[in-house]
Chain A
Amino acid sequence: MILKGEKILKQYRHSGGIINALDQVSFTINKGDFVTVTGRSGSGKSTLLLSLFGLIRLSSGKIIFNGKRIDDISDNHLTGIRKKSVGYILQSFALIPYLTTIQNVMIPLALEKISQKVQRKRASEILDFVGLSDRMDHLPRELSAGQQQRVAIARSIVHQPQIIMADEPTGNLDPMLSLEILEFLKKINEENKTTIMMVTHSPVAAEYGTVKLHLNEGKIVSS
């Protein structure tokens, strides 16, 4: 078991009352799983993904990562876990616009204060892996959407995380590019045994999951 959620509750208060974005959600993810999280808009998929490593703080419940409870630890400690063990891929790619492809990929290594020489070597290898070795010095705006997402994938795996959290990684891509990205993720999952948790609307993408969670109104209705 790499990640476990127990009775996760996330409530939002607003003028009309309290909304349970996540309502007593429990699950277990094992190392090497490719987990897909599906559900309608507003079902709590992204909230679940972002709350697991502290980007959203829970109202109650437990999150256990590598056997240790992480829902009640300090912000700095959670930041440290995200830096070393988690890679994120977002629907909008979230690349830094003024950095080149390779510089974007080097950021997670820079945050770990790894030497620039090693950063460049590893980033080059990863960009080669995602097929962008000829686009290293391009700015994000000079790349296609599919290429940008591949840069985002490269950035999410360059520091060899234990788990990748992907929030609608194919949401902005056409079907062909989506398949290409999904194949990449599958390759990463299978070759590196990296655990992947992917939120998606797409039934096609959901089929890539070896573990499938379906959320409805903040509750897991099937797994």
Chain B
Amino acid sequence: MTISKLVLIELWKRKSQLITGLLAITLGISVIVAIQSVSVVSEENVARNLDNLGANILVLPQVTSIDDYYTSDIDAPTLPMDYVERILNSTIAGVDNMSPKLTRRVKVGDQSVVFTGILPKSEIASKPLWQSSGLLGTQLTTACAPNQSANKSHGLEEEKLKRKAIDTLYSDDCFAGSQVAKRLKLSVKGRINIMGKNFKVVKILPETGTVDDDRIFANLRDVQQLLKIENQVSAIEIMGCCNAISEGLLGQLRNILPDTRVTTIGQIVSTQIKTNQLMKKVTLVMLIIIFFVGGISIGNYIWANVNERKREIGVLRMMGAERSTIYKMFMLKAIILGIAGGILGFLLGTLAGVILGPYLAGINVQPVYMYLLWSILLSVAISLTGSLIPTYLAAKFDPHSNLQED
């Protein structure tokens, strides 16, 4: 016989009470697991939609404003192409994709158009709307999704991935934005002469409602050669993980690119961060409610158990059990309840999420096994917290008055 065995026997012999005690904490944990499982998938969906907004960080030459960048003045300053490599070779976390580009306003006939040199793979990867029109780039993991590893960069790193559709721009090819195509009456396989070079239009891009609609895109190296601005770019657009942005990504970029202007596209970032924060707040509120409700329920169960076992506590104290032994008995019971409640809660919550997710939220929920550990830890913490006061009181019981109940 040991104190642990005594606790286990007591739990086993009073199964109906055990079930009652477990019920509250199991349900509490299962609600958290279900909500969390559904909300993680929802957050990923929301984050994916937010990422459709495109890049959220701009690296510009020091003297360039965002307005300059969008108006694409003929003599707008540039920055070295090597900066892309510098970011790639750094240990900065949270850079999901980079799109260096050189942009100039040029004349095509009597029309003024914005001529933009791009690295097609990384550009397509950062433009989900382009991808949806058949330009499949590297599939990005969602930059702002929860549990996203912030240490991997995508896009340029993954160029070896096979593509299913157009993701390259040969030397004489170009994409045309929807507005400029209308204006210049361009069509796929049509031709356009820019600065003396004849380009074939391989794609009319879908309307995005952005400045891209008024641009013609060609391979960056062609544009650099035509504009005679070798190894220079106007800007590097970055898709940064919004968590990393809020944790100082901009500062890190500024450190390795000291003579540049690193700025966020404010509205995108703030929307991403606000959405993530809202999700986290909802989960936190649920967590707090369940912590209190679960803690009180367990506390109530332990208190009832303590009262029921007053005589037993008195007898044990009479036989020489220290207060610490009584304390250990009830805390051990709380830990066992916590572990059991955590495991059952995880199973029940995951099952609820997997079954109800598609019906209630229209999403497919997968079990997140990491939550098992968190469920157990949370459940034990709730159980121990709820048991503290009744256990303390049990240990303080006067053995004599409990024996007198005989």
Considering the complex, give the chain B residue whose CB is closest to the CB of A91. Answer: B406
Contact for B311 among A94, A106, A155, CB less than 8 A: A94
Shortest B2–chain A CB gap in Å is 6
A83 touches B320 (CB 8 A): yes
Segment at the interface with A among B43-51, B249-257, B321-329: B321-329
Residues of A within 8 A of B325 (CB): 111
Cβ of A34 under 8 Å from chain B: no
Q: Which of A142-178 contact B (CB under 8 A)?
A: 155
Residues of A within 8 A of B406 (CB): 90-92, 94
In the bound assembly, the distance between CA atoms of A110 and B5 in angstroms comes to 10
Shortest B324–chain A CB gap in Å is 9
Residues of A within 8 A of B317 (CB): 55, 79
In the bound assembly, the distance between CA atoms of A98 and B323 in angstroms comes to 21
Given contacts A90-B406, A91-B406, A119-B1, contact A98 B9 (CB under 8 A): yes
A79 touches B321 (CB 8 A): yes
Considering the complex, give the chain B residue whose CB is closest to the CB of A167. Answer: B403
Contact for A110 among B2, B10, B314, CB less than 8 A: B2
Considering the complex, give the chain A residue whose CB is closest to the CB of B309. Answer: A96
Q: Which of A22-81 contact B (CB under 8 A)?
A: 50, 55-56, 75-76, 79-80
Secondary structure type dominating chain A contacts: helix
Residues of B within 8 A of A112 (CB): 320
Residues of B within 8 A of A111 (CB): 316, 319-321, 325
Cβ of B13 under 8 Å from chain A: yes
A50 touches B400 (CB 8 A): yes
In the bound assembly, the distance between CA atoms of A108 and B3 in angstroms comes to 11
Shortest B374–chain A CB gap in Å is 33
Residues of B within 8 A of A107 (CB): 1, 6, 316, 319
Shortest B244–chain A CB gap in Å is 54
Shortest A86–chain B CB gap in Å is 8
Cβ of B315 under 8 Å from chain A: yes
Considering the complex, give the chain B residue whose CB is closest to the CB of A100. Answer: B9
Shortest A207–chain B CB gap in Å is 25
Shortest A176–chain B CB gap in Å is 23
Cβ of B160 under 8 Å from chain A: no
Cβ of B206 under 8 Å from chain A: no
Cβ of A194 under 8 Å from chain B: no
Cβ of B399 under 8 Å from chain A: yes
Most chain A beta-carbon neighbours within 10 Å: one of B3, B315, B321, B323: B315
In the bound assembly, the distance between CA atoms of A144 and B236 in angstroms comes to 89
Residues of A within 8 A of B320 (CB): 79-80, 82-84, 86, 108, 111-112
B9 touches A99 (CB 8 A): yes
Q: Which of B1-24 contact A (CB under 8 A)?
A: 1-3, 6, 9-10, 13-14
Q: Map CB proximity to B onto A176-215 as digits: 1 under 8 Å, 0 otherwise.
A: 0000000000000000000000000000000000000000
Residues of A within 8 A of B9 (CB): 98-99, 103
Cβ of B318 under 8 Å from chain A: yes
Residues of B within 8 A of A86 (CB): 320
Interface residue ranges, A against B (CB under 8 Å): 50, 55-56, 75-76, 79-80, 82-84, 86, 88, 90-92, 94, 96, 98-99, 103, 106-112, 116, 119, 155
Interface residue ranges, B against A (CB under 8 Å): 1-3, 6, 9-10, 13-14, 311-312, 314-323, 325, 399-400, 403, 406
Known: A79-B322, A90-B403, A99-B9; 9 extra A-B contacts, CB below 8 A, are: A50-B400, A55-B318, A55-B400, A80-B320, A90-B315, A94-B315, A107-B319, A109-B1, A116-B2
8 CB-based A-B contacts, threshold 8 Å: A79-B321, A79-B323, A83-B321, A91-B406, A94-B315, A96-B312, A107-B6, A107-B316
